[in-house]
Amino acid sequence: MRSLPLRAQLYIVVVGLVALAAIAYCAATLTFSPLLILEMIVLVALVAFADSHPVDLAQGHYAEVTVSCALKTAVAIVMGPQVAIIISLLGTALAEVRLRRAWYKGVFNISTMTLTFVGMSLTYELLYDGVRMPFNSIRNALTVIGMVLVYFLMDTGQVTAIVSMQARTSWFHIWKVNYRESIWNNLTIIPLGALMAQLWLYRPWSVLALLLPIIVVRQSFQYIVELQRQTQESLISMADAIDQRDPSSFQHSLRVATISEAIADEMHLTPEGIETIRLAARLHDLGKIGMSNTLLFKPGKFDEQELAEFRRHPDIGADMVKSFRLFNEGKDLIRYHHERYDGKGYPQGLAGEDIVLGGRILAVADSLDAMTSLRIYRSPFTIEQAVEELLRNRSLQFDPDVVDAFLRVLKGWGGRLPWSEQEPAPEQIAPEGGGLLQPEQAASGEVPR
């Protein structure tokens, strides 16, 4: 717990104390009977089982969801807030023990779920029309909608708050990454619980009819996460396939991602900004997927037609990823990673800070790896030669702040790139005419590929 920021530690303590106070009140005021105790044991076991099989949401696995909330909602409607709060706490606690999470994570999960059902149970208790049937009247139906809103705000809000504190990033970004794609599925859980309560009050055995729908809802969460993961892996595999077409550029995008991530971290960007840059770096050459081997492997300079064709790849790559929400934030970085700080780049000739910062970072990382890697049209630079080129083109081709940040990163790496096994031979020098990255050479076709 000490690894967490102080405000995150205080937040966990506060929600834990409030949840403890709530459970103590419920235990002290509830009248227990043998039948109630038996029912509670069964319900706690069902909740624990459901909570022991959570679905991690989105890329970061910062948050999760379970279908136990449907059962807890039904308990809150049928049996009242005291029973619902006790079952929520005990069921979640058993699941946390089984999952063997760090103690403070378990305390937080138990506390937030308990407080969420404090809010939901009280909402129904205060607003329903006196008949426990959730669809007995319009008033009760609106009360169920109120429970949906309370659940959504308290459950996602509390989890997002602690994750944003831990990751030191914005609340909205964490919420968007972890809940945006699953919001409608998430909101179906509470109405499903209300339907369970309706059947329970009518004929208890009829609740079994909801077993399959509950399983389907749970699987829908899993499918969403799998779709996101598979989409990302598929696009990255396509990018890697481009690297593998040419052994000299194998793992190019992976190395560009490593350099870009290190620069972004050195410039103290937010965690979500760093992740966006890293992912865009992995996909920055995706637009080359349809280019012919003749063009990609040409040993000499491009003619005007070939140069125009080559310069389409940033736009093609950006257009390929823009239809995927998961990559939407990185499309401009892909589109503009060949723009130059002095405005002589492509595809739009942007200059200075008109180029998105991630694009300026990718420009340095991409060019550096292009220089220090063997290419069919030239030998690799030593790291010293590459640094000299970066400094020569500082404020011309490259953002000076990004170059300076990379030099600090390189110093931290001991003056070597982390994957370098040996330095290139001394005779491997820059091309005649002042280096690979001179503006006049870039204009004539000798550009980082």
Q: What is the CATH number of the domain that holds 377?
A: 1.10.3210.10
Q: How confident is the model at residue 60 (pLDDT cuts 50, 70, 90)?
A: very low
| 131 pLDDT above the threshold of 50 | yes
Do 109 and 179 sit in the same domain of this protein?
Answer: yes
338-351 pLDDT, tens per residue? 999 999 998 999 99
Whole-number pLDDT of residue 218: 79
Average pLDDT over residues 30-49: 92
Least confident of 47-51, 258-262, 288-292, 368-372: 288-292
What does the alpha-carbon distance between residue 69 and residue 122 come to, in Å, rounded to a whole number? 16
CATH code of the domain containing 196: 1.10.1760.20
**Total tally of structural domains belonging to the chain:** 2
**Residue 449 pLDDT greater than 60, yes or no:** no
Q: Which residue has the higher pLDDT, 20 or 240?
A: 20
238 domain residue, yes or no: no
Q: Tell me the average pLDDT across 46-64.
A: 73
pLDDT above 90 (res 2):
no
The pLDDT of residue 94 is above 90: yes
Q: Tell me, what's the pLDDT at 424?
A: 40
Compute CA distances 142 → 38, 123, 208, whole Å. 32, 11, 25
Stretch 82-86: mean pLDDT: 94
Q: Which of 173, 195, 229 is the last residue of a domain?
A: 229
Decide if pLDDT at 40 tops 70.
yes
How high is the pLDDT of residue 258? 93
Same domain, 22 and 153: yes
Residue 442, pLDDT score: 36
* Percent of the chain whose predicted confidence (pLDDT) is above 70: 82
Averaged pLDDT score across all residues of the chain: 82
Q: Picking from 127-141, 285-299, 417-431, which range would have the lowest pLDDT averaged per residue? A: 417-431
Does residue 241 belong to any structural domain of this protein? no
CA torsion, ordered 321, 252, 415, 269, to nearest 10 deg:
10
Type of residue found at 49:
F
Predicted pLDDT at 183: 66
284 three-state secondary structure? coil
Six token digits for residue 119: 């809010």
Per-residue pLDDT band for 180 (boundaries 50, 70, 90) equals low
- Residue 245 above 80 pLDDT? no
Any idea which of 375-384, 415-424, 426-435 has the lowest mean pLDDT? 426-435
Q: Taking 90 as the threshold, does the pLDDT of residue 158 lie above it?
A: no
- Supply the range of the domain harboring residue 103: 6-229
CA–chain centroid gap for 314, Å, is 24
**Taking 90 as the threshold, does the pLDDT of residue 186 lie above it?**
no
Predicted local distance difference test score (pLDDT) of residue 437? 41
Do residue 149 and residue 264 come from a single domain? no
Residue 34 sits in the same domain as residue 165: yes
The rounded distance, in Å, linking the Cα atoms of 364 and 340 is 10
Contact 170, 177 (CB under 8 A): no
For residues 128 and 197, give the distance between their C-alpha atoms in angstroms, rounded to a whole number: 14
Using DSSP's 3-state secondary structure scheme, residue 378 falls into strand
Average pLDDT over residues 153-172: 75
The answer to whether the CB of 12 falls within 8 A of the CB of 1 is yes
193 and 307 share a domain?
no
Sequence-distant (6+) residues with CB within 8 A of 381 are 371, 372, 389, 424, 428, 430, 436
* In a shared domain, residues 250 and 160: no
- 319 and 225 inside one domain: no
Higher per-residue pLDDT: 358 or 6 = 358
What's the pLDDT score for residue 422?
43
Same domain for 110 and 220? yes
- Provide the pLDDT for residue 446: 41
| Same domain, yes or no: 197 and 340 | no
Query: What is the pLDDT, as a whole number, of residue 55?
Result: 77
One domain, residues 153 and 278: no
**194 plus 63 within the same structural domain:** yes
pLDDT > 70? residue 376: no
pLDDT of residue 325: 63
- State whether 110 and 153 are in the same domain: yes
| Amino acid 140: pLDDT | 94
